[in-house]
Amino acid sequence: MSVSSAKEPLALKQWFNQASDQDAKQRHTLIVGEVGQAHDGSLGTAHSYIDAIADAGADAVKFQTHIAAAESTADEPWRVRFSPQDDRRIDYWRRMEFSQEQWAALKEHAEARSLLFLSSPFSLEAVDLLEGIGVEGWKIASGELTNAQMLSAIAATAKPVLLSTGMSDWAEIDNAIEQLRTEGAGPVAIFQCTSAYPCPPESVGLNLIAEIAQRYQCPAGLSDHSGTIFPTLAGVAQGMQLAEIHVTLSKRAFGPDVPASLTVEELSQLVVGTRAIESMLAHPVDKEEQARVMEPMRALFQRSLVAAMDLDRGHTLRDTDLVAKKPASGLSPEALPQLIGRRLTRSLERDQRIAMEDVE
């Protein structure tokens, strides 16, 4: 595994401070690469995802921490029966488990690659495990938003929270935010999310991001399951402040989230696009100033009025007597109506530029 690092990992509290700074000239959209269960229980593959997401330029890597006995009963149904090697859903969750030491090593690897390490807990025991390895903050999955016990355990740490809302109505989100804030959680950011895998464009809900930010007075963004880069880029162009995207090493990989995931190459493209859009938004263009800066280019590419043929002194100009040709070192073609019907005070050769003092 690669452990080289060119920069410090993004500190979650620092990002929240920047995101809430109304005077900040340029925003930094938090880009989270979501591994989820794409590692399929392989610790080596989980480490490979860290390197891939770091190489793509994301800010954070996010996993899911499952402890089967604490999370599920033996009769939990499958959402999608995708795993032929697991008889029951709980068997699958057992296969996804890592020990606390293994999670600590994943976190260390992520930070060595300048990534913020995040993992969604799915039980109180998972909260304790992640707290034990020193996570900077919490990602609460959509299905846990109404889990009051978990919200309390997370709030008690006073750490920042990223909250997904893919299965909830406004009342449930209201209750979760009130509980987190009342019980002392750190700053909260909220993802608009639609729990469909993949999510079609008409269900993404970009309109809800600004509404969430206004309603809860917090950073808001998109947890996207479309399997494309387009919703996130559209959201960034609208000013959203954070994005979470499922990642796969290959579109042919095994697992239920692959159709809703970006490849590493697509994630890289998404990061480049996001940073470009941020720069565009941070640097509004003054059209008059831009024209002044472009004066050398204007001289090369714009045109001047010149004689279309040899013209004698005293000739009354018609619209066919003058044409516009490069470079723009004489009268602009815009002056043509002011010249038609006037007489030349001197002869002009073909392609010779005309000036206002050449007519009466």
Total number of residues shown for the chain? 360
Residue carrying structure tokens 């959201």:
235
DSSP annotation of 114 reads T
Rounded CA-CA distance 29/227 in Å is: 19
Residue 14, pLDDT score: 92
Same domain, 253 and 312: no
CATH of the domain at 342: 3.90.1210.10
Same domain, 167 and 312: no
Residue 6, pLDDT score: 53
* β-strands 304-307, 262-263 pairing: unpaired
Helix, strand, or coil here: 294?
Answer: coil
Structural domain ending residue among the three candidates 282, 305, 337: 282
Same domain, 232 and 298: no
Same domain, 278 and 161: yes
Structural domain ending residue among the three candidates 282, 308, 332: 282
Residue 79, pLDDT score: 74
Residue 7, pLDDT score: 64
Residue 69, pLDDT score: 86
Q: 190 — alpha (psi -120 to 50), left (phi > 0) or beta?
A: beta
Rounded CA-CA distance 255/252 in Å is: 9
CB of 101 closer than 8 Å to CB of 109: no
DSSP E strand stretches across the chain: 30-36, 60-65, 116-121, 138-140, 161-164, 188-193, 220-224, 242-248, 262-263, 304-307, 322-325
Residue 75, pLDDT score: 84
For residue 124, what are its two tokens?
Answer: 């109180």
Q: Is the peptide bond before 198 cis (omega within 30 degrees of 0)?
A: yes
CATH of the domain at 45: 3.20.20.70
**Domain housing 339:** 288-358
| Residue pLDDT tens, the chain, 360 long | 444 445 676 799 999 999 988 777 788 999 999 999 899 899 999 999 999 999 999 999 999 999 998 988 888 887 777 777 877 889 888 988 999 999 999 999 999 999 999 999 999 999 999 999 999 999 999 999 999 999 999 999 999 999 999 999 999 999 999 999 999 999 999 999 999 999 999 999 999 999 999 999 999 999 999 999 999 999 999 999 999 999 999 999 888 889 999 999 999 999 999 999 999 999 999 999 999 999 999 889 999 999 999 999 999 999 999 999 999 999 999 999 999 999 999 999 999 999 999 999
Residue 298, pLDDT score: 86
Helix, strand, or coil here: 60?
Answer: strand
Question: Sign of torsion, CA 223 124 122 47?
Answer: positive
DSSP 252-287: T-SSTTGGG-EEHHHHHHHHHHHHHHHHHHHSPPPH
* β-strands 138-140, 116-121 pairing: unpaired
Same domain, 161 and 189: yes
Question: How many structural domains are present in the chain?
Answer: 2
Same domain, 276 and 292: no
Structural domain ending residue among the three candidates 282, 305, 332: 282
